């Protein structure tokens, strides 16, 4: 019987995710390009791991080392593209992220000894950069669809700690070589890399699905965060509220924080801070409150199926719709419809609650 290393199976799974992402992206491949490259790098790395440890092919190690220094920068660029209000990272910034791979390639040629520590430092540095990016919460991913901003943020956190975990694993392996001659290293590397690649692949896929962009958006510096609401915050929050009610902007399934900020000609961070301080919630929760209110009206006044109401109200997935509906109303959509189909509507009360 032919033995197929498990990393090859992981690679096949990641390639399947990659194909699904490409089909799902359709005409928006540019917006998802970094996530697509990231998944491709994960799949290739899994193949290299299978060749190295499944068939004890040491000749593959240099390619594995170089690719290892490409993955963290790609992960950072992927989430950086969601945290930028403009057209994403510049080509100069993108090019700079491949300097670690160039350095490792040069070291492999002239002085291989420090390659291991350099790779560990790359993972530590980019892992810390991703943690720093996540410090501002879901609203930091201004180009992510609001319907999936929380999931994108969770994926950012998972990616950050997985990359940091890879750096810690490298330290553990170094200790194993120093103390036991590397007795357990093969098992540690195979297990950790397979788990990490699977988790990271799933995280990148989820986040890519929530990518939405507008090429006319312009970048601004983030505003300083104050402890209390200001008159300016009240004015901005009132303008956002007016925009939601008069234009029903919340019905756009591709709506993101950057689009809202562009309508107001303000930096996204300033809009986010105003909503946070005035309403005590994230922008995604604020917008989803309007969506839930619209869904309540549709549930009461029409016989439309819930699956249609999900999209009419501005949600992209039924799972997120159900979760947000329960958060706002304390009931499932079906229970709400049964309770409020005939009696007078409770929507006005819920609207006041959503805006408070």
H and E: helices and strands count for the chain: 17, 0
Q: Mean pLDDT lowest for which of 60-69, 324-333, 341-350?
A: 341-350
State both tokens at 323. 């979760």
Which DSSP letter does residue 1 get? -
Q: What is the pLDDT of residue 270?
A: 92
Query: In the predicted model, is pLDDT for residue 330 greater than 90?
Result: yes
Q: What is the pLDDT of residue 144?
A: 85
| pLDDT tens column, 333-351 | 999 898 887 544 455 555 5
Separation CA 200–CA 160 (nearest Å): 10
State both tokens at 115. 């390659």
Q: Which residue shows structure tokens 């958060």?
A: 327
In sequence order, the β-bridge partners of residue 256 are 145
Q: Is 126 exposed, middle or buried (0-12, 13-18, 19+ CB in 10 A)?
A: buried
Query: In the predicted model, is pLDDT for residue 175 greater than 80?
Result: no
Q: What is the pTM of this model?
A: 0.77
Q: Is 344 exposed, middle or buried (0-12, 13-18, 19+ CB in 10 A)?
A: exposed
Q: 3-class DSSP state for residue 144?
A: strand
Q: Which residue shows structure tokens 């005939």?
A: 342
Q: What is the pLDDT of residue 344?
A: 47
Domain with CATH 1.10.10.60 in the chain: 231-355
Fold of 231-355: Arc Repressor Mutant, subunit A (1.10.10)
- In CATH, what class is 6-209? mainly alpha
Domain with CATH 1.20.1070 in the chain: 6-209
Q: Mean pLDDT lowest for which of 40-54, 181-195, 280-294?
A: 181-195
Confidence of residue 106 (pLDDT cuts 50, 70, 90): very high
In sequence order, the β-bridge partners of residue 144 are 211
| pLDDT tens column, 187-220 | 666 666 656 666 666 666 655 555 544 433 333 3
């Amino acid at each position: 019987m032919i033995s197929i290393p498990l990393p090859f199976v992981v690679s096949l799974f990641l390639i399947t995710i990659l194909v699904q992402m490409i089909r799902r992206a359709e005409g928006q491949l540019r917006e998802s390009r970094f996530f697509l490259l990231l998944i491709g790098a994960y799949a290739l790395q899994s193949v290299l791991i299978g060749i190295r440890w499944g068939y004890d092919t040491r000749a593959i190690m240099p390619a594995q080392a170089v690719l290892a220094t490409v993955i963290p920068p790609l992960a950072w660029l992927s989430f950086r593209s969601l945290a930028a209000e403009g057209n994403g990272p510049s080509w100069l910034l993108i090019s700079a992220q491949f300097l670690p791979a160039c350095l490792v390639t040069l070291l492999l040629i002239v002085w291989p000894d420090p390659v291991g520590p350099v790779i560990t430092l790359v993972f530590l540095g980019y892992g810390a950069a991703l943690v720093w990016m996540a410090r501002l919460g879901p609203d930091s991913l201004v180009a992510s669809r609001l319907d999936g901003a929380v999931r994108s943020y969770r994926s950012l956190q998972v990616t950050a700690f997985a990359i940091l975990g890879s750096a810690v694993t490298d330290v553990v392996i170094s200790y194993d070589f120093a103390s036991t001659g590397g007795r357990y290293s093969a098992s540690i590397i195979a297990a950790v890399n397979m788990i990490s690649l699977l988790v990271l692949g799933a995280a990148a896929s989820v986040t890519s699905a929530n990518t939405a962009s507008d090429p006319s958006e312009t970048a601004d510096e983030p505003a300083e965060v104050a402890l209390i609401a200001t008159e300016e915050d009240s004015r901005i929050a009132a303008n956002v509220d007016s925009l939601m009610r008069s234009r029903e902007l919340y019905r756009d399934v591709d709506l993101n924080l950057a689009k809202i900020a562009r309508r107001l000609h303000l930096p996204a961070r300033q809009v986010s801070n105003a909503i946070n301080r005035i309403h005590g919630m994230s922008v995604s929760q604020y917008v989803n409150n309007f969506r839930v209110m619209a869904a309540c009206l549709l549930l009461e006044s029409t016989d439309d199926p819930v699956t249609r109401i999900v999209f009419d109200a501005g949600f992209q997935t039924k799972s997120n719709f159900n979760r947000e509906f329960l958060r706002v109303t304390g009931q499932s959509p079906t229970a709400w419809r049964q309770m409020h189909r005939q009696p007078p509507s409770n929507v006005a009360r819920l609207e006041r609650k959503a805006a408070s």
